[in-house]
Amino acid sequence: MAKYFGTDGIRGHFGTKPLTVDFVLRVGNAVGKSLLKKGDTVIIGRDTRVSGDVIESAVAAGLQAVGINVQFAGIVPTPAVAFLVTKYKAQLGIVVSASHNPYQDNGLKFFNAQGGKLNDAEQIAIEDHIDSELVTLQGDELGTAFRMLTPQNDYVNFVLASVQRLNLDDIKVVVDAGHGAMYKVAPRTIEDLGADVSTIGIAPDGKNINQKCGSTDTKNLELTVKKLKAEIGLSFDGDGDRLVVVDHLGESVDGDELLFILARHAHQQTPLTGPVVGTSMTNMGLEVAFKDLGIDFVRASVGDKHVLQKLAETGGKFGGETSGHLICLDHATTGDGLTAAVQILKILRESKLSLNELKKGFVKYPQVIVNVKVDEKKLAISHPKTQAVLAECQQQLGNVGRIVLRPSGTEPVIRVMVEAESAGLTVKLANEIADTITLLGL
């Protein structure tokens, strides 16, 4: 059982235990003691949150105290750190971010030397050292610290290299960077491809990240795309590892639909040899659509780390989550919103079809997700009353629907997901389960 690590790294409300300055210092120290050796290098990037500077400094101090060298990448997307670690042959990458959460939250994500997420054993090794005594070396045994010169340029060039010779001269694109880590690199990348780019969400002030913008709230992007008569709108979350798109009709296109477009296009070029990987929350309609196309599909636990692990086990290239985590292993080592975006733009160009047309062939099952605030998440799910109502609702669905209860790894909520052929039934059953859990008072 992890004490500090959640679905994706360590995350919490900064200034509230455990996520305090002294804790972050201990995390840095623990990483250096458990996974690295004196003289190794760690690259640190961050998003635009006001607490980013403080956390960046604290984790770096903990690392340097045990002889680890630090290179600061500054404000860059999460996938940029994964790439920079491999490009500059660092031993580890750390991202200071709370992804799609509000600005009051922050946290730490980690990448290994291959640009992938840490495994469970590595996370446990870090946790085993967090609460131990701090180690501080002396004199020239301390690690050094440097600011990287061209981290954003390096990342932009990396993304552009995945779509060589793509020309978007007559395509109008709206980019919503969510006032987050993509606020400079995303518009620049799309402009470099020749598109006519308009922007929203590119004025971070440390507190407006993900605020009524970005991949978690596309209303403004939808209106802007329709107003400007753009072909497509691209929406990123605070740290840039998620992508949600808006089509020319102003309709939001989620991660399941984008995964369908990416995988089907690749399969049409050369039949896929491995499965596409989704999660327990992936819409059942995607599984049906891939079956009709002769594409294998498997599910992993929620979290892009688990999707990546399943891809490695099965030899697949494409994976993702409904929320917009999209993994294209032929181009990136982790979920990368900008890399996925340029691949979608390439398909748009080559197919000469609209995004609305490209997503046809995938019919979503009606799906409802209700978030229930609970402190004791695991106890609430295992409670006899919860299990009883769950069994009763599943019996009503039979074999033509699914129910998933999932404790959030980043928030004090349980996500109640119900899918069925009947939209009315999904709402009814989801509310019954949510009300039962709420009344437990846990």
Is the bond into 412 cis (omega within 30 degrees of 0)? no
Please tell me whether residue 291 adopts helix, strand or coil conformation: helix
* Strand partners for 277: 298, 319
- CB of 318 closer than 8 Å to CB of 328: yes
In degrees, rounded to 5, the angle at the alpha carbon of residue 180 between the alpha carbons of residues 179 and 186 is 95
If we measure between CA atoms, which residue out of 188, 144, 155 comes closest to residue 88?
155
Could you list the beta-strand ranges (E) of 22-177. 41-46, 69-75, 92-96, 105-111, 145-147, 172-176
Residue type, 179: H
> In degrees rounded to 5, what are phi and psi of residue 199?
-130, 150
For the chain, what's the residue count?
442
Write down the H helix ranges in 36-180: 52-64, 78-87, 120-130, 151-161
Active-site annotation, residues: 99
Task: List, in sequence order, the alpha helices (H) in 244-383.
Answer: 255-269, 284-293, 304-314, 337-351, 355-358, 377-382
Token pair belonging to 103:
């600005």
Contact criterion met (CB below 8 Å) for 388 and 205: no
Instruction: Compute CA distances 406 → 360, 361, 409, whole Å.
Output: 29, 28, 9
